[in-house]
């Protein structure tokens, strides 16, 4: 990712040399698969996912979940690298996680604005917004939260493959669900950002009055009060929004985006 006025040094990740190396690796991988695949069905399936997705991006769907049997992947004619070169940046997922009122939506929309103003393709998927449509059938039970994050993980992957910096703003309280979103996303294109602030600060902010309602028992299964939040073990970034301004948080993410390979 390159942001005008802040051009990073060309390094092995962003240079044409890196691209060539990666293409070479993919070719070698295909060669190795082609002989083994003749014998092993699981490798044949893996080979299929390698050759049917955009080059360098694997189809990660869990085939055991598929209800339909007669489905075939249609392969596109544009590679991820071609898209990135045209856009002058890679598609990726910036996954913001944290308590309600920690600052996810504020940072997400500021970041999107900043990227947009530099000619980058960016899109925000916001928790409350998707619950109006795509996930309007889901509540806040652990099962529904899991399905909510799975769907968002899949949509975020599609945006990333389409060349967008897809910024997601979801509490996403369970580590396993976030890990699933990471696995779904294109390899190396998932930046988990822990929007970290003490619960007491969130309660004090309470921009939507939700903590007051949760304390009063009017909302059940509220993260931090009556439902758990599992902090990320190894996020790519951690932002203390009680110690940094939104603009400072955005600047940190923009700096990290420069390391995303394309
Ligand atoms: N550094 C910061 N980053 C993000 N939000 C901040 C920051 N400092 C204060 N805030 C305030 O905290 C609140 C966060 O609300 P919101 O972004 O809706 O949180 P969330 O989407 O995580 O529920 C806003 O009122 C925002 O102005
Ligand atoms: Mg929000």
pLDDT tens readout for residues 84-129: 999 999 999 999 999 999 999 999 999 999 999 999 999 999 988 9
Walk across the sheet containing 237-240 and list its strands: 122-126, 165-169, 92-97, 190-196, 237-240
Catalytic positions, written as ranges: 172
Residue in 103, 201, 229, 238 to alter for ligand 1 test, most ligand atoms within 8 A of Cβ? 103
Cβ pair 111, 250 in contact under 8 A: yes
223 lines ligand 1 (CB under 6 A): no
pLDDT tens readout for residues 4-38: 333 333 333 333 322 233 333 333 333 333 333 33
Which ligand is located closest to the Cα atom of residue 103? 1
Ligand 1, residue 102: give the atom nearest the CA.
22
At residue 130, does pLDDT exceed 80? Answer: yes
pLDDT of amino acid 66: 76
207 lines ligand 1 (CB under 6 A): yes
Confidence grade of residue 62 (pLDDT, cut at 50, 70, 90): low
Give the C-alpha separation, 174 to 179, whole Å.
Answer: 9
Confidence grade of residue 236 (pLDDT, cut at 50, 70, 90): very high
CATH number of 84-257: 3.40.50.2300, 3.40.50.720, 3.30.420.10, 3.40.50.300?
Answer: 3.40.50.300
pLDDT of amino acid 64: 66
At residue 50, does pLDDT exceed 50? Answer: no
Cβ pair 238, 249 in contact under 8 A: no
CA of 2 to the centre of ligand 1 (A): 26
CA of 82 to the centre of ligand 2 (A): 33
CA of 171 to the centre of ligand 1 (A): 13
97 lines ligand 1 (CB under 6 A): no
Vertex 214 angle, CA 197 and 204, to 5°: 40
């Amino acid at each position: 990712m390159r942001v005008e006025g802040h051009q990073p040094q060309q390094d092995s990740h962003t240079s044409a040399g890196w691209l060539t190396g990666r293409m070479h690796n993919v070719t070698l991988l295909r060669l190795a698969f082609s002989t083994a695949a003749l014998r092993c069905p699981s490798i044949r399936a893996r080979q299929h996912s390698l050759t049917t997705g955009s080059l360098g991006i694997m189809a990660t769907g869990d085939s055991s979940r598929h209800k339909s049997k007669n489905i075939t992947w249609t392969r596109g004619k544009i590679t991820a690298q071609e898209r990135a070169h045209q856009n002058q940046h890679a598609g990726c997922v910036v996954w913001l996680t944290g308590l309600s009122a920690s600052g996810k939506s504020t940072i997400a929309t500021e970041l999107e604005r900043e990227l947009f103003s530099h000619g980058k393709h960016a899109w925000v998927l916001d928790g409350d917004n998707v619950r109006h449509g795509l996930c309007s059938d889901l509540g806040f039970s652990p099962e529904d939260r899991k399905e909510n994050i799975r769907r968002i993980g899949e949509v975020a992957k599609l945006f990333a493959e389409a060349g967008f910096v897809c910024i997601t703003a979801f509490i996403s309280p369970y580590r396993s669900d976030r890990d699933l979103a990471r696995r779904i996303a294109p390899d190396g294109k998932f930046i988990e950002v822990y929007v970290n602030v003490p619960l007491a600060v969130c309660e004090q902010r309470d921009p939507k009055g939700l903590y007051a309602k949760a304390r009063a028992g009017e909302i059940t299964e509220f993260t931090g009060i009556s439902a758990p939040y599992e902090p990320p073990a190894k996020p790519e970034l951690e932002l203390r929004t009680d110690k940094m301004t939104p603009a400072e948080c955005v600047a940190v993410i923009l700096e990290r985006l420069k390391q995303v390979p394309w």
